[in-house]
Amino acid sequence: MAALLKIEYRDPLEPVTGVLVIDRLVDGVCAGGLRIAADVDADEIAALARNMTRKQAAFALPVGGAKAGLRMAPDHPARTAVLRRFLAAVAPFIERCWSVGPDLNTTMAELQRAADDVGLPCLKLAVGRSRGLADHEFLRRYAFLDAAIDGWSVHALRAPAAVRAATLALGRALARPAGLRVAIQGAGAMGGGAAWLLDRVGCRVVAWADDLRCLVADAGLDVPALLAGRRDGRLPELAADVRPSDAVLQTDCDVLILAAVSRAFTIDDIPRLRCAGVVEAANLALAPEVEDALHAAGVLVIPDLLASAGGSWPSRRSTPAPRTAPPTSSPTSSAASPPASNMSSRTAAPPACPARAPHGGDRWPLTRHVPKDTSHVP
């Protein structure tokens, strides 16, 4: 099934492009992260958005799926300015229907700082509005996610908490409930949070890889020290055996946690694995054919549909407000056109209050929408 909406973005000042894909609306809202990477691909973003729809549905969450990406190197010198301009350009969707979260090479703190700079008080406003909550009440409730837990916020631990649960469940299934030996691919928000949570419950992190290197210690790495020295998703070279990044796949462990990129390895890599189970903490961490091959090889896998859904769980707490009013705009109306656009014409203007479709997924009437020029945004 084709996505509901695809928006292609071109930055007016830097040679950077971006894309936002809304796969589906449920009760007028969708959720999905914003990533930054040099290899962002529109088709991959669409696949990730579709996966978000499946993930929300698996937990009966009243939210559709979305995903966005900016195609630039994570260390791009104009990163912050580009991010601000992108958020300003898609602000109407954030305000009405898209709940934005972090993804590859981004954090919630960074995204919200950029949003504050362009007048967006919260990147999750659409959730509260879709539930009939006044903004001030939603923001009051949302503030609880900033609560501190031993130096971490609830925000930062929501997604890793599901990874911890999946890893411990897999350990029980493998009849190795105590002293679980874990290898982690990825040292960003998901990998870092998972390492901290697992270390606290007695798991031994025997290997941990970022995009440059893999640190290995059979007796277990010093997770707190590595987290203290971590910078921009990269680990410090402390007392450990330092190997190439992909050596994490060959580390002797009980559970391999994939918390970095999509399609982390191929079928050809399976003979090199030395784990009994795999947890897909990253979205689309493994292609379906790789999952099937692992099953045939006797390696247990907890898919991302379950393991990476922690960031979505709070959506289940709210009861959607009744929707009886039809959309305020007619299906053929067009939005007014401000000056120069830096978006493609394949966009849609969300109505103020979309009616719920009989099948449970909302559909916008596709209309031509030309957003404001954002070249003035610093």
Q: Look at residues 65, 19, 111, 46 and name the one whose alpha carbon lies nearest to residue 315.
A: 65
Please give the Cα distance from 262 to 285 (Å, whole number).
4
Q: Which tens digits make up the pLDDT trace of 60-99?
A: 889 999 999 999 999 999 999 999 999 999 999 999 999 9
CB 95 within 8 A of CB 120: yes
What number is the average pLDDT over the span 170-184?
92
Q: Which tens digits make up the pLDDT trace of 201-213?
A: 999 999 999 999 9
Give, rounded to a whole angstrom, the gap between the first and last alpha carbons of the chain.
38
pLDDT for 266: 96
Sign of CA dihedral 76, 77, 79, 85: negative
Q: Which tens digits make up the pLDDT trace of 217-270?
A: 999 999 999 999 999 889 998 867 999 999 999 999 999 999 999 999 999 999
Q: Look at residues 200, 115, 191, 114 and name the one whose alpha carbon lies nearest to residue 159.
A: 191
What pTM, to 2 d.p., does this model score?
A: 0.77
Instruction: Indicate whether 333 pLDDT > 60.
Output: no
Please give the structure tokens belonging to residue 148.
């501190």
CB 51 within 8 A of CB 312: no
CB 233 within 8 A of CB 139: no
State the CB neighbour count (10 A cutoff) for residue 332: 8
Instruction: Indicate whether 283 pLDDT > 50.
Output: yes
DSSP H or E run through 155: helix 154-173
pLDDT for 363: 29
State the CB neighbour count (10 A cutoff) for residue 121: 15
